[in-house]
Chain A
Amino acid sequence: MSGMVEKRAAGLWLTHAGLILGVALIGFPIYLAFVASTVTQGDIIRPPMPVVPGGHFIENYREALVSGINAPVWQMLVNSMVMALGIALGKIAISILSAFAIVYFRFPLRHVFFWLIFLTLMLPVEVRIVPTYEVAANFGLLNSYSGLILPLIASATATFLFRQFFLTVPDELAEAARVDGARPMRFFIDILLPMSRTNIAALFVILFIYGWNQYLWPLLITTDPEMNTIVMGIKQMFPSGDDFANWPVIMATAILATLPPVLVVIAMQRLFVKGLIESEK
């Protein structure tokens, strides 16, 4: 009996050891980036670089935030924040309205609209790069927040998620609202919206990260460094010739680019997992 318990205890320690190894391997790239953001350029260009943090944290981050390389990083952080919030809130707003229309009304061409929205799943920005860029350029949206946000704001996934949720809302609620003579929008604002709170929050986490991490679209439409987002701006900090890249400042920027979405995921872990698993159903 005791032999079996010992064997299980050994297995448990082995499992812990395996997980710790996994955590360490997965965390290593970001740890090394952090170390690089706390040392000097000289420490890095004479390899091997140190593997413990140095004493230049404040000066590297100050240099990145205040002056950056093409544009100050604080400016890029603001741009990323506007873009991520605009995409997340915009997607939620237009999706919840259209899901409400599709579930709670009967009108001509309802199914056509439903399929049109569904088809957007098949049109990621990556496959319609040039023509979408031309449309944005024709509307004068280059180097603007609207240009960063609008073309990415339609989402079949969010519409479906709200549709699925509305279908589970008991009919009695709408019935009662109708008997009371409530207008549809009153029902939407007073009953449906509060009931959707958790879904909205879960979706917000996923969409905020989606918006923050966009790369190709900002790369195309923000040619002015002042409008760059931080995720796309990092690559622009590399010199084009054979010069050494300013690694401490670049790595400080990489850490700053990673911090907001990582904090959102960790702080809202439960909602994040719910949002991730439900939005893929």
Chain B
Amino acid sequence: MDKRVTFGGWTLPYLLLLPQVAVTAVFFFWPAAQAIYQSAFIPDPFGLKALFVGFGNFSFLLTDPFYLASFQTTAVFSGLVTIVSMALALWLAVMADRIIKGSGAYRTMLIWPYAVAPAVAGVLWLFMFSPNVGLVSWYLGVLGYDWNHVLNPNEAMGLVVVASSWSRISYNFLFFLAGLQAIPKSVIEAAAIDGAHFWRRFWTIVFPLLSPVTFFLLVVNVVYAFFETFGVIHTITSGGPQQATTILVYKVYSDGFVGQDLGSSAAQSVILLLVVGALTVIQFRYIERRVHY
């Protein structure tokens, strides 16, 4: 897509681009290139010189049980976050779509969690489930269940999944609601006249018509769970217990900053770059398809 009418001159457009290109070069491309470069070295403990190892860091990572476990953790975590937050959001959106009077008030009361930072969401959920003061964990104790996510890996995973899903529901809700409202009412009324029940109408007509929105949300929620949940993990579990909640992004951070293992951290960054690249391509293909109709 190009404009028919344009202005002449070369200097002005370069000047206009300069701020963005400068920031991008200094803080995006240079560090990314550094990550690729550093991934081929192992720095000595004093940081004086680095030993060239080629793909050594990568072959080490791909056979490292901790790294492979982190991949698996990330897959479980992002799968659960995506399913939980999308299912709840769809349920709420279907109900909000049925309401004609007062739907604006419900929308307001359902969208504000979007504005709560994932790190703050982590603190809120940590507080409710804290083993020594949490209200929910106390009542679970009354019911005979001894909650302790600090020691129990499955409970830790459950808690970070719930907190991450909670902070994502509003986003998914808004997209599902917009998708539902875009479906022509005449299509649904026609099915209602034919005597189809609500749930039958939903699964045979509404849900298939929502599939572009659903697919889009699947991709962006996986991206969210991969990259934007660092705050939740850091505030609730710090990756523990026994690395049960160490997702890939958390591992880049803990190996690079806490463990000072720069070569490995750089190699992990490069692997993550490939993951984001693949996800972006999927997202972009989808965008192109949407432009066509």
Contact = CB atoms under 8 A, between A and B. Distances in A.
Given A130-B257, A130-B265, A266-B108, A215 B133 contact: no
Interface string A37-72: 000000011011101000000000000000000000
B67 interface: no
Interface of A: 11-12, 15-16, 18-19, 22-23, 26-27, 29-30, 32-33, 36, 44-45, 47-49, 51, 93-95, 97-98, 100-108, 110, 113, 116-117, 119-124, 126-136, 150-151, 153-154, 159, 166-167, 171, 174-175, 178, 184-185, 187, 209, 212-216, 219-220, 231-232, 234-235, 244, 247, 250-251, 254, 257-258, 261-262, 264-266, 269, 272-273, 276-277, 280-281
Contact of B117 (A29, A153, A187, A215): A215
A213 B117 contact: yes
B120 A262 contact: no
B123 interface: yes
B6 to A, nearest CB: 5
B95 A18 contact: yes
A127 B269 contact: yes
Interface of B: 1, 3-7, 9-10, 12-14, 16-17, 19-21, 23-24, 26-32, 34-35, 38, 88, 91-92, 95-96, 98-99, 106-121, 123-125, 127-128, 132-135, 138-139, 166, 169, 171, 174-175, 178, 198, 216, 220, 227-228, 230-231, 234-235, 249, 252-253, 256-257, 262, 265-266, 269, 272-273, 276-277, 280, 287, 290
Given A123-B273, A153-B23, A264 B117 contact: no
A174 B3 contact: yes
Contact of B99 (A19, A26, A44, A166): A19
B119 A129 contact: no
Contacts of B280: 121-122
Given A108-B10, A127-B227, A131-B34, A94 B95 contact: no
A5 B230 CA distance: 50
Contact of A219 (B106, B175, B234, B277): B234
B253 A216 contact: yes
A94 B91 CA distance: 40
Contacts of B169: 26
28 contacts: A16-B99, A18-B95, A19-B96, A32-B128, A47-B132, A47-B135, A48-B135, A49-B135, A103-B3, A104-B3, A105-B6, A107-B13, A108-B10, A119-B29, A128-B32, A129-B256, A129-B269, A130-B266, A154-B20, A159-B20, A213-B115, A216-B253, A234-B235, A254-B120, A258-B116, A269-B111, A272-B111, A276-B171
Nearest to B27: A151
Given A123-B273, A247-B133, A273-B174, A135 B27 contact: yes
- Smallest CB-CB A-B distances: 8 pairs: A213-B117, A131-B31, A131-B34, A261-B115, A215-B231, A101-B16, A105-B13, A101-B13
Given A126-B272, A130-B35, A23 B109 contact: yes
Contact of A30 (B6, B124, B257, B277): B124
The main secondary structure of chain B at its interface with chain A is: helix
B110 A26 contact: yes
A97 B19 contact: yes
Contact of B95 (A22, A36, A126, A127): A22
- Among A19, A95, A167, the one with the most B-chain Cβ atoms within 10 Å of its Cβ is A19
Contacts of B35: 127-128, 130-131
A171 B113 CA distance: 41
Contacts of B117: 212-215, 231, 257-258, 261
A269 B108 contact: yes
A226 B32 CA distance: 30
A70 B180 CA distance: 48
Given A22-B92, A47-B132, A98-B19, 6 more contacts: A124-B276, A129-B269, A178-B5, A215-B117, A215-B118, A276-B171
A98 B16 contact: yes
B115 A131 contact: no
A215 B28 contact: no
A130 B266 CA distance: 8
A232 B119 contact: yes
Contact of B24 (A116, A124, A264): A116
A113 B115 contact: no
A185 B17 CA distance: 14
